[in-house]
């Protein structure tokens, strides 16, 4: 997240005033997003801005080296990248292992499972392909989830220099470099657009190197264009500043008002943010840029210099302090202060010395032959410091390894096996009940036709028992399936693990069209696993106006969409006839005894309360009808 501006080549272009300020804005947006501040709904686009900056700076360094020496020293380049990225990551990981082992075993367990992927920079593909259990992500996510972006940058550093070097050797075809880079960027952007499906888990698109590389490549294209400074100066300084300011305002507006899980971001929004970032960098490339001067102000430069450390430290600190839930203002201040302190210490004592080659310089000093007493004393002094540093590093590493091996692990949920078994059984039960629904409905119609109008009114229990409802839910509803059937014995509870809201209408269609279900109403009990998208209007349209629809609010305190989903549900109920609210969020407020340790899934007490919440909302509707 923070590449240095200079390499070992004296022909390197001047320092760009304003890049650090843009980097500061990007990391502050990410920080505000993870703190769930209301003005940073789309703050995760700060990562996209980082990608563009890194692509620009790295390509600039590589092109300068290629022009200066006629080649690219890949070994030296990769060593510099390792020195820049790895020491800070290892320091953060060691601190995280110790802190989580003592204070939060659930986070410790998740961190241990992601440890190697963070160190060796394949965390993004680990999250995509390893099929990590949904239950491992219950409650607060892994404290190393944010390492996915570092993995993409590292993979870019590994592959793109090889492409540049291969194309550079074709001297007569060197003009192919911008064309190939542009083609790769377009392919990457197209893959994000094509592969995104709001009805599916977006992790493949969000974390994939192939679907995110376009941001880095757009930065690389700007670096190639900046080699021809005369062409960049076609526009007057004021016009360039105006364009840069407008682009920066556009980035801030998207970060502030566009939800981070909106389809817009996958259908061109991320590309737009990347292009706006390119325009901002283009503006500050001007030596007389007023925007560059503003972005280069000391406070922004200070944050920008430490942005890599801030990015590394902020997420584990937030999860350790508040669990990733919305916090009070004073808790937020504590999290910000701890982030700044640890990132400043990392920058001062880890990142800067290692980046400036303290290890190599120390080895050279120790192994050299002193020519004077002063040089001998200096060598002894360096040797003592090196030995202390090695001992501390060894002790910390050994302690962290022992923690990973011997400290007991703890999962977010204690009933994982029960829920997994229940998920399998629930599917079979739902199919059986669906087959019985048609026969039961016909029998009930016949009985109704032959019944006497003077028959005694039904009790509440009889009304509920006669209902044929279809509940479409996720793992939270799954945990309450038995209690649901105890109240609604002739209804169907179709609940599954990690179900998205957009799956609801296809499930409804399957019951109606394939299994002949023709029941009394539908209960929508989703919303904890992602945004609503168009699920409610689509489901309501397919059901028709005559079938009652019950919408159940969600309690998912570790997500960023809990509040927006619940608000959308309430507004939808108010705007549509024959649509009713089951307010589980309100009913469970202040009842920590209802939940497992992840504060989302229900225990036995919560399962009963969950089913009773449904009963209390459903009964008045059908009691009036009866």
The residues annotated with a catalytic role in the active site are 475, 598, 601
Report how far Cα 148 is from the mean position of its chain's Cα atoms: 9
Question: How far, in Å, are 130, 419, 578, 601, 609 from residue 414 at the CA level?
Answer: 22, 10, 39, 10, 19
Burial string for 313-330 (b: 16+ CB within 10 Å, else e) reads bbbbbbbbbbbbbbbeee
Are residues 80 and 22 in contact, defined by beta-carbon separation less than 8 angstroms?
no
Residue 250 burial (CB count, 10 A): 17
Helix H or strand E segment including 61 = helix 46-69
Are residues 275 and 47 in contact, defined by beta-carbon separation less than 8 angstroms?
no
For the chain, the first-to-last Cα distance in angstroms comes to 64
Whole-number CA gyration radius for the chain: 29
* Nearest residue to 491 via CA among 458, 525, 464, 526: 464
The SS3 call for residue 1 is coil
3-class SS letters over 539-608: HHHHHCCCCCEEEECCCCCCCCCHHHHHHHHHHHHHHCCCEEEECHHHHHCCCHHHECCCCCCECHHHHH
Sheet of 492-495: strands edge to edge?
A: 492-495, 469-473, 521-525, 549-552, 579-582
Are residues 605 and 593 in contact, defined by beta-carbon separation less than 8 angstroms?
yes
CA geometry: angle at 518 spanning 421 and 566, to 5°? 65
Residue 227 burial (CB count, 10 A): 14
Question: How far, in Å, are 272, 282, 571 from residue 264 at the CA level?
Answer: 10, 25, 22
Q: Taking the CA of residue 416 as centre, how many other CA atoms within 13 Å lie in the half-sphere pointing to its CB? A: 13
Helix H or strand E segment including 386 = helix 373-406
Are residues 87 and 351 in contact, defined by beta-carbon separation less than 8 angstroms?
yes
Sign (positive/negative) of CA torsion 197, 204, 322, 555? Answer: positive
Are residues 510 and 504 in contact, defined by beta-carbon separation less than 8 angstroms?
no
Task: At 450, give phi and psi (nearest 5°).
Answer: -95, 5
């Amino acid at each position: 997240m923070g590449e240095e501006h200079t390499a070992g080549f004296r022909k390197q272009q001047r320092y760009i005033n304003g890049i650090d300020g843009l980097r500061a804005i990007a990391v502050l947006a990410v920080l505000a997003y993870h703190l769930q501040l209301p003005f940073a709904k789309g703050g995760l686009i700060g990562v996209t801005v980082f990608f563009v900056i890194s692509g620009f700076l790295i390509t600039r360094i590589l092109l300068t080296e290629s022009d200066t020496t006629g080649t690219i020293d890949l070994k030296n380049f990769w060593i510099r990248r390792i020195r820049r990225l790895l020491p800070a990551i290892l320091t953060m990981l060691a601190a995280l292992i110790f802190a989580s082992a003592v204070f939060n075993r659930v986070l410790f367990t998740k961190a241990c499972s992601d440890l190697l992927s963070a160190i060796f920079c394949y965390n993004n593909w680990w999250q995509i392909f390893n099929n990590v259990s949904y239950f491992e992500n219950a409650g607060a996510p892994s404290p190393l989830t944010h390492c996915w972006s570092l993995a993409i940058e590292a993979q870019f550093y590994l592959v793109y220099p090889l492409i540049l070097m291969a194309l550079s050797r074709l001297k007569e075809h060197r003009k192919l470099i911008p064309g190939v880079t542009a083609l790769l960027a377009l392919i990457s952007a197209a893959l994000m657009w094509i592969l995104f499906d709001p009805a599916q888990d977006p992790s493949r698109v969000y974390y994939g190197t192939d679907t995110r590389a376009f941001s880095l490549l757009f930065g690389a294209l700007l670096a190639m264009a900046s080699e021809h400074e005369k062409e960049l100066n076609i526009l007057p300084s004021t016009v360039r500043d105006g364009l840069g300011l407008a682009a920066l305002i556009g980035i801030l507006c998207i970060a502030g008002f566009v939800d981070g899980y909106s389809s817009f971001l996958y259908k061109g929004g991320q590309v737009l943010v990347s292009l706006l970032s390119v325009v901002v960098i283009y503006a500050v490339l001007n030596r007389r840029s007023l925007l560059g001067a503003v972005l280069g102000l000391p406070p922004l430069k200070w944050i920008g210099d430490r942005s890599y450390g801030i990015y590394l430290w902020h997420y584990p600190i937030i999860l350790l302090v508040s669990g990733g839930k919305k916090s009070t203002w004073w808790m937020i201040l504590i999290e910000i202060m701890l982030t700044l302190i640890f990132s400043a210490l990392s920058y001062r004592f880890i990142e800067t010395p290692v980046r400036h080659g303290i290890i190599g310089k120390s080895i050279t000093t120790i192994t050299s032959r002193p020519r004077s007493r002063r040089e001998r004393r200096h060598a002894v002094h360096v040797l003592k410091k090196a030995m202390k540093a090695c001992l501390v590093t060894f002790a910390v590493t050994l302690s962290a390894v022992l923690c990973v091996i011997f400290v007991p692990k703890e999962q977010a949920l204690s009933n994982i096996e029960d829920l997994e078994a229940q998920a399998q059984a629930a599917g079979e039960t739902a199919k059986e009940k669906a087959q019985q629904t048609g026969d039961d409905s016909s029998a009930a119609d016949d009985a109704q036709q032959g019944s006497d109008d003077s028959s005694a009114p039904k009790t509440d229990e009889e009304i509920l028992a006669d209902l044929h409802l279809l509940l479409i839910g996720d793992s939270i509803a799954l945990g309450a399936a038995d209690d649901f059937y105890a109240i609604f014995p002739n209804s169907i509870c179709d609940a599954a693990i990690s179900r998205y809201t957009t799956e609801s209408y296809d499930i409804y269609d399957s019951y109606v069209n394939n299994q002949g279900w023709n029941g009394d109403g539908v209960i929508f009990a989703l919303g904890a696993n992602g945004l609503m998208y168009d699920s409610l209007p689509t489901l309501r349209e397919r059901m028709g106006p005559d079938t009652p629809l019950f919408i159940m609010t969600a309690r998912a305190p570790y997500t960023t969409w809990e509040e927006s989903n619940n608000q959308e549900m309430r507004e939808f109920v108010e705007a549509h006839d024959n649509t009713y609210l089951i307010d589980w969020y309100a009913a469970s407020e202040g009842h920590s005894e209802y939940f497992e340790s992840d504060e989302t899934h229900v225990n036995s007490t919560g399962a009963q309360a969950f089913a009773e919440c449904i009963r209390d909302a459903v009964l008045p509707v059908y009691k009036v009808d009866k």
